[in-house]
Amino acid sequence: MTTQTVPTIASGLIGNDSILHHIKNTYHELTAAFERHMGMSRARWAILNRLSREENLTQAALAQLLDVDAAAVTRQTV
C-alpha cells in the first residue's frame, strides 16, 4: 500500500486542473443552462416553485424556508 503526503494529495485540489476547479466550472455551466432553459434565475424559480406547492405562505415564512432574507424574496418577485 502506498501513502501520499499531504502536499501531494492537496496538489490535486488546488489550481486550474484541480477537481474542485472542474466541479466549480461544471456547476456554473449547469446553472447557466438551467436559467436559459427556464427563462429565470434559480432564486426566482425556487420561490415560484415553493409558492406553487404552498400557496398561503407569508413573505417571512417563504424567506425562512428558502434561507434568504425577506428583501431577497421581494427582489425576486418584482
pLDDT at residue 42 in the model: 92
**pLDDT tens string 24-67:** 999 999 999 999 999 999 999 999 999 999 989 999 999 999 99
CA distance 20 to 53: 34
* pLDDT above 70: residue 9: no
Helix 42-53 / helix 70-77 crossing angle, nearest 10 deg: 100
| Integer angstrom CA distances of residue 52 from 18, 57, 61 | 40, 10, 14
Ordered by start, the domain boundaries in the chain are 1-39, 40-78
Q: How confident is the model at residue 78 (pLDDT cuts 50, 70, 90)?
A: confident
Q: How confident is the model at residue 1 (pLDDT cuts 50, 70, 90)?
A: low
Burial of 57 (0-12, 13-18, 19+ CB in 10 A): middle
CB 42 within 8 Å of CB 35: yes
φ and ψ of 37, to 5 deg:
-65, -45
pLDDT at residue 33 in the model: 97
- pTM above the 0.85 mark? no
